Structure 1
Amino acid sequence: MFTTRPTLQGTFGMVSSTHWLASQTAMAVLEDGGNAYDAAVAAGFVLHVVEPHLNGPAGEVPALVAPAGGPVKVLCGQGVAPRGASIGHYTSLGLELVPGTGPLAAAVPGAFDAWMVLLRDHGTRSLERVLGYAIGYAERGHPAVERVGETVGTVRELFETEWTTSAALYLAGGRAPAPGALLRNPALAATWRRLLEECATAGHGREQRIEAARRVWREGFIADALLAASARPTMDTSGERHTGTLTGDDLAGWEAAYEDPVTYDWNGWTVCKAGPWSQGPALLQQLALLPDEVTAADVHFGDAATGSPHSDSAFVHRLIEGTKLAMADREAWYGDAEGADAVPVETLLSAAYNDERRALIGEEASRELRPGSPDGREPRISAHAAAVAAGEGGFDPLAVSAGAGEPTVARDGATRGDTCHIDVVDRWGNMISATPSGGWLHSNPVIPELGFPLGTRLQMTWLEPGLPNSLTPGRRPRTTLTPSLALRGGEPVLAFGTPGGDQQDQWQLHFFLAAVLRPHVRGGPDLQGAVDAPDWHTDSFPGSFYPRAMRPGSVTVESRTPRSVTEGLRRRGHDVEVGPAWSEGRLCAVARDPETGVLSAAANPRGMQGYAVGR
């Protein structure tokens, strides 16, 4: 079968990420004797440097961690809403939605602490060694990818008139970074160097210095700069200047933590996801909504360049309609809720509930937002989402491509974010899937003392009380970030994930089905064939990013999708938009065969940026 690249195989270590420099950094750490977790941390900090339009240190990162011989855990690097981030505060400012940019949208930063906790608990290398790669690229520069300059171009006027600290870094000489031009961030390099200097006095122990770094972030010079940035009046998507709500107590009182994953058993596989503070269970529910038996006979596998992994329009129709039902339940039920408001995850994934939901899938495309009533509870939909679903909220055409790769920035400065991803497996069987995001260069002004901005994850909450995802101090916003890890016979076999906002758990479902059902290559899963295969997504549910739009009945497919599928979907009433040939899906993946120890990896060719390495 034709693929853009081979599925890599070896026995020493495998890495896949959304940028070749991050992948090679992780591999260099493995070659130096580090394990998968050392490698992931080093690569994570490099991603802050080389993909600043997709993530930053003040963003967030959820990760699925599978130590060799140990249980799978979720490492939650998603910060909470600050104590002052109440609905009343925002509505008193005349806001109906949390702005898509600016300090009002900033949650407590989570990425840095999560990487530190991972390094402390599962890594073996020193903080100095893992940060060295990012410092080098920030100081000496790296060739800018196309999307950095394109993203800066869309917010050029904002940078020049309002966010002048961002202009100083990303419009040096009055020009956005050209593709291939060396892009440096000396302020970020200086931040990490100062951090290391201050940590050096904490003692000689590896863990002591990591703990010192966490204190500097929460209470030292980095905290001071973060708080000053939050307190600075900043123009945001509301068209007004606002200050944020972040305080020293918020920074000092939050830390990354481990949780048990939510799991679902399907066809001999156990798929692990983060809880309903992410959208992770939506992938599991899409699996639960599939027919009882799905085999390779149900799915046509052609060459990845010419044939869809799901080339029967009837099967694709069922997948689309299942996505709509799962995402409607996400809208009505997901959030960081507790007690009587806790998300009924067990029921949402139960056979009885999904039998009822599956019966709603007819022969024609649905255009309604149809959440269910698990345990007899009434679904709760925000007034804004209900209006959008009824066709009263309009649809921004820029949102059509929002999940199809890099972030989209509207003319008014509104952003719909994208992200990064990295998967690593080492020769000892340690495995990790992580999706760093947020703190984009177009989220907030660059903090000149630090070289990076605050994030904007609170834009995913609602300013309406009584909803699972209502803005609530001390609770996490429901995020789209959703890494995946799959086990077979209780052994971790497959780690995968993708950028793409609301599309992440759509594309990951399609990849997973293709990876586990399509014919193997050299005795292992054809990861690259599953990554390369034509893909699609639907926007037929309220979006997670400002301005929270919806496109009922929509399906966007790659032009490589067979015409028979496209026409078959149209006959069923789907509004099919044909996008560019390589515009859907951004998958990364690594795998390990527990019986042979053979490792494999693949990466997305779309965007000419993702890369897999290994041996």
Structure 2
Amino acid sequence: MTGFTTRPEILGTFGVVTSTHWIGSAVGMSILEKGGNAFDAAVATGFVLQIVEPHLCGPGGDLPAVIYSRKKDKVEVISAQGPAPAGATIEHYRREGLTLIPGDGLLATVIPGAFDGWMLMLRDYGTMSVREVLEPAIFYAEHGHPLLPRVSATIKGLAAFFEKEWPTSHETWLPGGRIPEAQANFRNPALAETWKRVIAEAEAKSDREAQVQAARDAFYRGFIAEKIDAYLKTAEVMDASGSRHRGVLTANDMADWSATTEEPLTYDYHGWTVAKTGPWGQGPVFLQALSILKDFDLAAMNPDGAEFVHTVVEAMKLAFADREVYYGDPGFSEIPVAHLLSETYAAERRKLIGADASLDLRPGIVPGFEAQRDLTMNMLGAHSKTGAVYEPTMAHLSEKRGDTVHIDVIDRDGNMVSVTPSGGWLQSSPTVRGLGFCLNSRAQMFWLKPGLPTSLAPGKRPRTTLTPSLGLYEGRPTLAFGTPGGDQQEQWQLSFFLRHVNHKLNLQAAIDRPLFHTAHFPSSFYPRTREPGNLMAEESFGSDVLGALARKGHKLTITDAWTIGRLTAARRDADGLMRAAATPRLMQAYAIGR
């Protein structure tokens, strides 16, 4: 089953790159053409996306990656999710008058992880120099790039706020005091100079590995950390709480941290093994949903039909309910992942999917964790805010919220990268003067209540929504895929994967099918709202399907066609043929290959 596609599924044998911006994909392909491998290409693409999609990611952000190295013959996860600083205690934030961590400003900042994650990937898996992977980003920062309409709209919406409250951001994003027009040539010379200095310090060393380490030192223990520290010592800025606050991040926090690699969490589904991050991210939600859906005959369902949508969204509600109670940084809490992915547990959860839409948040009962479940549910009941929170992926709802980008790369040797960088958006916190970028707001995903896996604590990773995916078919690394979209990431990826695996749609056809998701569970983003029973679906499902879903009790929000989801995917078959695809939605993402 191929199905109608808006674009061809890209085919080749040399290499494929797909990302959420055409310039990023082109840069990644150019790296492959120059002899770089998939890891080199991903790094260069990632730095370019910080320039061309600054409302979606930045140098002060974070990333997880799921990778396959042909040399190691191993699938691994790179965790470049920075943890909370030493001063980030519940007591301190409570003294600041907060009950929730704001979604922007300086108190929302954790240690920036993206740069170290990229450098770890370059050093341990790549082949190129720091200069070679940074020069494309420097070019677009120095010489300019066509400003996306949504970036212009975001800046316009924040112009008055920037001028009054975040003057360094006003200087960066409104040069000369003017709102940059959509598709105008936009530059960030301060960021270009930052990367040039990093290269200069790297090239003071002789060999490639030492140069990468020197670049890491420049960011985390050198001039970049010093400028961040000096800024945060005096800055007191307005945030979403309606008050001004100082941050708690210091140079010491940055100096003592580095990105790491770890084993992926996996689940087997009809000949496929899907590899995801651990429970410090929301990756296990995807795996739990697969475990619940495993015994449904999805292949017999119309992939655009009401039965398919209902069954999948009800499974996701159950998996996300467990996320709220049980997920967190396993370095700080016991996370019952094995139980959550067990067949016995899945069988009980499966029984909860009935003919009608569920309206309640229904986390499962895990022996020994009853008190934690009660504590979480009581807290959520006391919080009980309604109304969905979306990111710019949901372009019809908001132009101001931060979001994410995604990259998939496969080279001719079979190396594979799926990586989802985010954070450090232009709207997340003020630009640090002299650096050309701002910090992240990932701490908003912590709760200010003790005793939970997601309670704020120094050194703890926030439970990120970032969730790249890598699929092995019959044990062979085959498929890299992902999407931006906050809490929607797992949901859009699941429908893509199920349509590709169960309905045999090619990558582009699976991406192009109508999309849906739910905001039934609490959002990971400030102000942590939820919409019980919600189901958002593109109008392209058609009135018959949407009507059938409404009769099942789903509280429908019907959105225009081609407006939700930013999926990309790349695949390498056993014979070496490679495939790649990217969503036409928002008219930014592109797949390239030959």
Distance in 2 of aligned mates of 1:225 and 1:263: 40
**Equivalent in the alignment of 1:258:** 261
Post-superposition shift, 1:174?
3.3
- The aligned amino acid for 1:318 is T
Q: Residue deviations 1:406-444, cap 9 Å, x none?
A: 99466xxxx4x3100000000000000000000000011
SS in structure 1 of the partner of residue 586 of structure 2 = coil
**Equivalent in the alignment of 1:159:** 162
**Number of equivalent positions:** 590
- The aligned amino acid for 2:16 is M
Distance in 2 of aligned mates of 1:329 and 1:112: 31
**Equivalent in the alignment of 1:404:** 394
**Equivalent in the alignment of 1:601:** 580
- The aligned amino acid for 1:274 is T
Distance in 2 of aligned mates of 1:402 and 1:208: 39
Alignment partner of 2:90 out of 87, 90, 94 = 87
Distance in 2 of aligned mates of 1:383 and 1:149: 43
**Equivalent in the alignment of 2:5:** 3
Distance in 2 of aligned mates of 1:403 and 1:388: 26
Alignment partner of 1:248 out of 241, 248, 251 = 251
SS in structure 1 of the partner of residue 216 of structure 2 = helix
Q: Residue deviations 1:382-420, cap 9 Å, x none?
A: 979757658x744346x367653599466xxxx4x3100
Q: Is 1:445–1:453's contact at 8 Å kept on the other side of the alignment?
A: yes
Q: Is 1:144–1:180's contact at 8 Å kept on the other side of the alignment?
A: yes
* 1:456 matches 2:441: yes
Q: 1:149 to 1:402 in 2, by over 3 A?
A: closer
Distance in 2 of aligned mates of 1:284 and 1:405: 28
Distance in 2 of aligned mates of 1:218 and 1:376: 40
**Equivalent in the alignment of 1:337:** 330
- The within-5 A match list for 1:6-405 is 6-68=8-70, 70-202=73-205, 204-231=206-233, 232-296=235-299, 298-300=300-302, 310-338=303-331, 341-378=333-370, 380=372, 386=378, 393-396=384-387, 399=389, 404=394
Distance in 1 of aligned mates of 2:392 and 2:446: 19
Post-superposition shift, 1:314?
2.2
Decide which moves more: 75-84 or 222-231: 222-231
**Equivalent in the alignment of 1:523:** none
Q: 1:402 to 1:466 in 2, by over 3 A?
A: farther
Distance in 2 of aligned mates of 1:405 and 1:265: 35
Could you tell me which runs of 5 or more consecutive residues in structure 1 were left unpaired when the two chains were aligned: 301-309, 521-525
Q: Is 1:389–1:552's contact at 8 Å kept on the other side of the alignment?
A: no
**Equivalent in the alignment of 1:306:** none
Q: Is 1:555–1:576's contact at 8 Å kept on the other side of the alignment?
A: yes
Post-superposition shift, 1:198?
1.7
TM-score by length of 2: 0.96
Post-superposition shift, 1:362?
1.9
Distance in 2 of aligned mates of 1:225 and 1:572: 56
**Equivalent in the alignment of 1:538:** 518
Q: Residue deviations 1:252-311, cap 9 Å, x none?
A: 111000010000000010000000000000000111111515353x232xxxxxxxxx23
Alignment partner of 2:475 out of 471, 478, 490 = 490
**Equivalent in the alignment of 1:569:** 549
Q: 1:406 to 1:335 in 2, by over 3 A?
A: farther
Q: 1:429 to 1:406 in 2, by over 3 A?
A: farther
SS in structure 2 of the partner of residue 103 of structure 1 = coil
Q: Residue deviations 1:484-513, cap 9 Å, x none?
A: 000012111000000000000000000001
SS in structure 1 of the partner of residue 289 of structure 2 = helix
Q: Is 1:38–1:119's contact at 8 Å kept on the other side of the alignment?
A: yes
Q: 1:395 to 1:108 in 2, by over 3 A?
A: same
Q: 1:329 to 1:295 in 2, by over 3 A?
A: closer
SS in structure 2 of the partner of residue 569 of structure 1 = helix
Q: Is 1:371–1:379's contact at 8 Å kept on the other side of the alignment?
A: no
Distance in 2 of aligned mates of 1:41 and 1:442: 23
Post-superposition shift, 1:380?
3.4
SS in structure 1 of the partner of residue 367 of structure 2 = helix
- The aligned amino acid for 1:471 is L
Distance in 2 of aligned mates of 1:22 and 1:422: 9
Post-superposition shift, 1:155?
1.7
Decide which moves more: 353-362 or 453-462: 353-362
Q: 1:83 to 1:275 in 2, by over 3 A?
A: same
Post-superposition shift, 1:356?
0.9
**Equivalent in the alignment of 1:307:** none
Of all paired residues, the percent bearing the same amino acid is 51
Q: Is 1:373–1:379's contact at 8 Å kept on the other side of the alignment?
A: no
**Equivalent in the alignment of 2:589:** 610
Q: Residue deviations 1:124-169, cap 9 Å, x none?
A: 0111111000000000000011110111122222101011111112
Post-superposition shift, 1:379?
6.1
Post-superposition shift, 1:241?
1.3
RMSD, matched Cα: 1.8
- The aligned amino acid for 1:565 is V
- The aligned amino acid for 1:265 is D
Distance in 2 of aligned mates of 1:274 and 1:235: 34
Q: Is 2:130–2:202's contact at 8 Å kept on the other side of the alignment?
A: no
SS in structure 1 of the partner of residue 580 of structure 2 = strand
Q: 1:370 to 1:96 in 2, by over 3 A?
A: same
SS in structure 2 of the partner of residue 254 of structure 1 = coil
SS in structure 2 of the partner of residue 201 of structure 1 = coil
